[in-house]
Amino acid sequence: MNPNKDLTIGVLSVTALILLVGLVIVQTRPAPAFAAGMTTSGGDYVMSIGKVQRSSPDDLLYVIDTVEEKMIAYTCDVNRRELKMTDAVDLKKLREAAKAPQQPTPPRGTPPPQRGRPRP
């Protein structure tokens, strides 16, 4: 055989093998882990991860202090490698506001109440 042909076949075989190994590595790589909706607790704290909006790529870390009844939301700043506090909610006040009596809504089909003096 021609030595140039042998060299060409050898180079092409090694190139094909490298491409095959690369394809196998890319295809067998584990899928990325998505933590949306994950919740854990420890001691007096409950932590959960959730999205800000469906279209937003940002996730929030919600930390609930069950003793103080407060919830704090954190977002991750990847560039600075730090968590930033986004918002805090006092769950006691939220619960009290939910328990506050509300004006009853009239049944469907009833006319709205008249304002001012009734007409004679």
**Residues 24, 46 within the same domain:** no
107 belongs to a structural domain? no
53-89 pLDDT per residue, tens = 665 667 788 999 999 999 999 988 777 888 889 889 9
Residue 33 in this model has a pLDDT that exceeds 70: no
**Residues 47, 79 within the same domain:** yes
89 belongs to a structural domain? yes
Q: How many separate domains does the chain show?
A: 2
Contact status, residue 45 vs residue 64, Cβ threshold 8 Å = yes
DSSP code for 53? S
Among 73, 23, 70, residue whose Cα is nearest residue 52:
73
Pairing of strands 39-42, 45-51: antiparallel
- Put simply, whether the predicted model's pTM sits higher than 0.85 gets the answer no
Residue 62 backbone dihedrals phi, psi, to 5 degrees: -100, 125
- Predicted confidence at residue 1, as pLDDT, reads 62
- Predicted confidence at residue 81, as pLDDT, reads 82
